[in-house]
Every structure is written in C-alpha cells, then in structure tokens.
Amino acid sequence: MVEQESPLKPVWQPGSHGNFAAGIGVYLSESAPGSIVQLAAWAGKEKAVLQAIKAVAGLKLPDGAGGGAPGEARAAFGFAPGKFLVIDEQEGLAERFTQALDIETGTVTDLSHGRTAIRIAGPKAEWVLSKFFAIDFSATAFPIGAGRSTVHHEIFVHIQRSAPTQFELYVFRSFARSFWQALCRASEEVGYEVQ
C-alpha cells in the first residue's frame, strides 16, 4: 500500500518546548496505525458486533467500554451507543470485518486514510486536554480503555485513555495540523516534548 505522508510534517518540531523548567508536563507524538475502522451495529445487534471485535481483532470489550493494554498496537472502544472504533497496527482490518459482519448486523467504515492518531502522555495530560474538552478526565470517570467522542471548535475527536497518564486522539486528517498546533500551544504552560 502507498505510504501516507503525515499531515503534521510541516509543523513537526521535535524536542522540548514551552515552560519545562520544572520538567516536562506532556509528551506529544503521532502514531501511525495501519488500520482505523469504525463499526456501527444496527439496533439489537450490538452483541454480535462485540463478538466480531473479539473474533477479528482479538479484543474483548466489557459492555463495549474499551479494550487494549498500554503498549499494545491494537485497541477498541465504544464511543456512542452501538458504535465502536477499532485500531490495529496491521492494514486490512476493514476487509476482515467486512467478511465477519453481514449487512444485517451493521456497517464497517475504513477511516485509516481519513484520520490522524495523536498521543498525549505525561503527568499533565488530563489538565491539557481539559483545556479543550468539557469532559471529566479523572481516572474514575474515564478509565483505561474507555473512549469518548467529542468536538473542539467543530473539530471532531475520538479520545481513548490507553494508560494512566496517556490518551490517544483520533482527528480528521484535514484538521490534524491546526489541532496539533493548538495542542502544542495549550501544552506550553506545562512544558512539552515532541517525540
């Protein structure tokens, strides 16, 4: 498959930035999963889609909450009733789901070339994200594996907590550059490092 060029390339500035005199508050990076797939179950077919996620991606989502462990290249999470995002380091995930799910169960949408995956990690990750989104980012309200779907100034974002102080953000590729720049500006106060 054709190698995608990152939309962040023109604004990518590795290194430490902002006020990091007291240490780095957050680490920002771009991950490049091979597949990002959205699954939508028809009414009453949610359990069948959850079973397909387990069979195809090897991930079990308790009540659709979220699955995957820190450092794993695969993850899945529910972000709305009957809707799930599944991420894998390998390409071809959409084709595997298309074979596993029939048209009576739900839909499969390949978002791999339409989304950019951004990671924010560090002790101030919750604080920085709270500047953007009216979401409770505390570990009790937003546990590891859980996902949310929200917007920031009309930029749609899927968010998953992938570790105690780490979040994966999936944004439209066309808005990735401006969102990245805003995220960098919001992180200046606590100091950030682009990895």
> What structural domains and CATH numbers belong to the chain?
18-32+113-194 (3.30.1360.120), 35-110 (3.30.70.1520)
pLDDT for the residue numbered 69: 43
Q: Are 112 and 33 in contact (CB under 8 A)?
A: yes
Q: What share of the chain is helix, strand, coil (3-state, %, to 5)?
A: 25, 35, 40
pLDDT for the residue numbered 73: 61
pLDDT for the residue numbered 63: 55
pLDDT for the residue numbered 70: 43
pLDDT for the residue numbered 59: 81
- Scan for tokens 């995956």, then name that residue: 117
pTM of the model: 0.88
Among candidate residues 160, 10, 143, the one with its CA nearest the CA of residue 72: 160
**pLDDT tens series, the chain, 195 aa:** 567 789 999 999 999 999 988 899 999 999 888 899 999 999 999 999 999 998 998 887 755 455 554 445 678 888 888 999 999 988 999 999 999 999 999 999 999 999 999 999 999 999 999 999 999 999 999 998 888 888 888 788 999 999 999 999 999 999 999 999 999 999 999 999 999
Type of residue at 26: V
Which helix (H) or strand (E) segment holds residue 126: the answer is helix 125-132
Q: Where are the beta strands (DSSP E) in the chain?
A: 15-17, 26-31, 35-41, 75-80, 83-88, 106-110, 115-121, 147-152, 155-163, 166-172, 192-194
pLDDT for the residue numbered 153: 82
Among candidate residues 70, 85, 73, 78, the one with its CA nearest the CA of residue 163: 70
Q: Is 66 exposed, middle or buried (0-12, 13-18, 19+ CB in 10 A)?
A: buried
Contacts of 60 (CB under 8 A, 6+ apart): 53, 54, 67
